[in-house]
Amino acid sequence: MNNDNLFHNIHEECGVFGIFGHPEAANLTYLGLYALQHRGQEGAGICSSDGTKLFLEKSLGLVADIFNEKVIKKLPGHIAIGHNRYSTTGSSTIENVQPLMATYSLGSIAIAHNGNLIDIDPLKQRLERDGAIFQSTSDSEIILHLIARAKSGEPRERIANAVRQISGAFSLLLMTETELIAIRDPYGIRPLALGQIKDSYVVASETCAFDLIGANYIRDINPGEMLIINENGLNSIKIFNSVKPAHCVFEFIYFARPDSYIFDHICVNTVRKELGRQLAREHAVEADLVIPVPDSGVPAALGYAEESGIPFEFGLIRNHYVGRTFIEPKQSIRHFGVKVKLNPVRDALRGKRVIVIDDSIVRGTTSKKIVKMLRELGGAKEVHMRISSPPTIGPCFYGIDTPTRQELIASSHKIEEIRKYTTADSLGYLSIEGLRKVIPNSDIYCMACFNCKYPIEFQSKKVSQLELFE
């Protein structure tokens, strides 16, 4: 059993990290991936180059379990890229763990991809008709085949031509024997930042990876940009026509670490606290305590408490040391699934009117378990649910593992129906208008999960009614 599904039902696909010009490239990449572990926990890999040859080590599991001093010694060189995986396309097998590496007519190349490609079936079928043999079920491998099958041009030209043939969300790191190349899709859906440590350049999904290794943030990789990093320095090439950006707003709500700065150096923690303040303005209620669903609900709960004047308390404690799987006891234990990761603080909750702050409600099952646990185990007198984002009504096709639209409870049920299902005394979501007030330059963000307005078109699916109160 995968216990992550018992706690939260939305996952980021992955995190990427790359470095050029450092004698400990693989070791720093390991540290960068460690800082980005929250973006993917199914597998990790590092590919390095000593200037003449690529070296690859990858496995299923967490970064700290895969890489040790012995493994790092197998990754020599001054260039490296790394990847943390959470699968949205392709199964969880070692073949799908990135970076993916291939050898073709011009040498070797490796790729690490954060995001998700759309409408890839016709492209993959064409490649297979032309004789391509795929080693994985990851959509990222398509890019390698497109590069290898280009009829002419040096590697950077082939890479640019290959990327122009794909559609969707992609923050890419590619590496040849002598260069590190960073590419961001024209909409800039997933984050990707450039930093520097002494004379070396680093690229990462989030700036928290820079902080761990002592690198300074320089700027974001621009939407539609291909940045080539080699012994001559930086060379920026615009490979896509300009379109209106569509940054993923959910990075602020849930995915990015609070200490990161994303999308042109905006502090995630500051935004989340302000979301909580706005939520308090929109959905005030008389209560004794404000508590977060840890960890993603903490900044918003702090903001809610500050705005409302109601004391903040850690009423739920999260177990951070739970593995990805566990053996459930044969005898039924009440609230077992949610208690694996959360447990109430009875002395803080007993007899209190409690406001619980969470970042989102997906299927509603976890929220229902939390509310019941707060009442039955914690002894809370009242439980009021407050959500620091609008109702999630649309799935993401750009690199986030959301359930289908049919499984999203808010896509087919009114807020009062959701409240009754969760058994909360009251339920309030942040409005889209409130979200726009908080997010700087909110018109350049994708909010399809809240309004079903997708920046890249696809065929919509019919929504069916979820059966509640079974």
CATH number at residue 23: 3.60.20.10
Q: How far apart are CA 390 and CA 435, in angstroms?
A: 8
Query: Quick one: 277 and 331 in the same domain?
Result: yes
Task: Answer yes or no: is 358 a known binding residue.
Answer: yes
Task: Answer yes or no: is 449 a known binding residue.
Answer: yes
Is residue 273 situated within a structural domain?
yes
264 Cβ contact partners less than 8 Å away, ≥ 6 residues apart: 219, 220
Looking at residue 122, its pLDDT comes to 81
Query: Quick one: 161 and 207 in the same domain?
Result: yes
Q: How far apart are CA 217 and CA 443, in angstroms?
A: 25
Q: What mean pLDDT is predicted for residues 131-153? A: 82
Question: Alpha-carbon dihedral of residues 159, 248, 440, 38, nearest 10 degrees?
Answer: -100
Task: Answer yes or no: is 65 a known binding residue.
Answer: no
The answer to whether 128 and 145 have CB atoms below 8 angstroms apart is no
Q: How far apart are CA 47 and CA 118, in angstroms?
A: 26
Q: Which of 181, 211, 243 is the last residue before a domain boundary?
A: 243
Task: Answer yes or no: is 359 a known binding residue.
Answer: yes
Looking at residue 11, its pLDDT comes to 47
Per DSSP (E only), the strands in 399-453 are 400-401, 426-429, 445-446
Query: Tokens standing for 203?
Result: 């690229």
Is residue 133 situated within a structural domain?
yes
Confidence band for 458, pLDDT divided at 50, 70 and 90? low
Looking at residue 461, its pLDDT comes to 45
Query: Quick one: 74 and 110 in the same domain?
Result: yes
Query: Quick one: 108 and 211 in the same domain?
Result: yes
Task: Answer yes or no: is 248 a known binding residue.
Answer: yes
Full residue range of the structural domain in which residue 128 is found? 3-243
Looking at residue 9, its pLDDT comes to 47
Looking at residue 470, its pLDDT comes to 41
The answer to whether 260 and 208 have CB atoms below 8 angstroms apart is yes
Query: Quick one: 219 and 270 in the same domain?
Result: no
Q: How far apart are CA 455 and CA 461, in angstroms?
A: 16
Which residue has tokens 């995986």?
Answer: 85
Q: CATH code at 402?
A: 3.40.50.2020
CA 349 to chain centre: 32
Q: Is the predicted pLDDT of residue 2 greater than 50, yes or no?
A: no
Task: Answer yes or no: is 452 a known binding residue.
Answer: no
**Rg of the Cα atoms in the chain:** 23
Q: Which residues are catalytic?
A: 14
Q: Give the tens place of pLDDT for each residue, 309-348.
A: 999 999 999 887 655 444 556 555 665 667 678 899 999 9
Q: How many domains, the chain?
A: 2
Is residue 430 situated within a structural domain?
yes
Query: Quick one: 207 and 273 in the same domain?
Result: no
The answer to whether 396 and 250 have CB atoms below 8 angstroms apart is yes
Exposure string of 256-270, with b = 16+ CB inside 10 Å and e = fewer, is bbbebbbbbebebbe
Average of per-residue pLDDT values in the chain: 89
Q: How far apart are CA 189 and CA 445, in angstroms?
A: 8
Confidence band for 287, pLDDT divided at 50, 70 and 90? very high
Q: Which of 194, 210, 243 is the last residue before a domain boundary?
A: 243
Q: Helix, strand or coil for residue 34?
A: helix
Q: What mean pLDDT is predicted for residues 5-12? A: 44
Omega before residue 299 within 30° of 0, cis: no
Query: Quick one: 198 and 291 in the same domain?
Result: no
Query: Tokens standing for 139?
Result: 């959509």
Query: Quick one: 224 and 272 in the same domain?
Result: no
The residue that leads in pLDDT, 89 or 350, is 350
Is residue 155 situated within a structural domain?
yes
Looking at residue 329, its pLDDT comes to 61
Is residue 165 situated within a structural domain?
yes
Helix (H) or strand (E) holding 237: strand 233-238
Global pTM value: 0.89
Q: Which of 173, 208, 243 is the last residue before a domain boundary?
A: 243
Is residue 77 situated within a structural domain?
yes
Q: How far apart are CA 56 and CA 45, in angstroms?
A: 7
Looking at residue 125, its pLDDT comes to 78
Query: Quick one: 334 and 295 in the same domain?
Result: yes
Query: Quick one: 225 and 295 in the same domain?
Result: no
Cα dihedral sign for 295, 301, 306, 309? negative
Q: Give the tens place of pLDDT for each residue, 163-221.
A: 999 999 999 999 999 999 999 999 999 999 999 999 999 999 999 999 999 999 999 99
Is residue 434 situated within a structural domain?
yes
Q: What mean pLDDT is predicted for residues 283-300? A: 96
Query: Quick one: 151 and 291 in the same domain?
Result: no
Q: Helix, strand or coil for residue 331?
A: coil
Q: What are phi and psi of 436, to 5 degrees?
A: -65, -30
Q: Give the tens place of pLDDT for each residue, 248-263.
A: 999 999 999 999 999 9
Query: Quick one: 55 and 120 in the same domain?
Result: yes
Query: Tokens standing for 179?
Result: 């260069």
Looking at residue 13, its pLDDT comes to 62
351 Cβ contact partners less than 8 Å away, ≥ 6 residues apart: 379, 380, 381
Is residue 45 situated within a structural domain?
yes
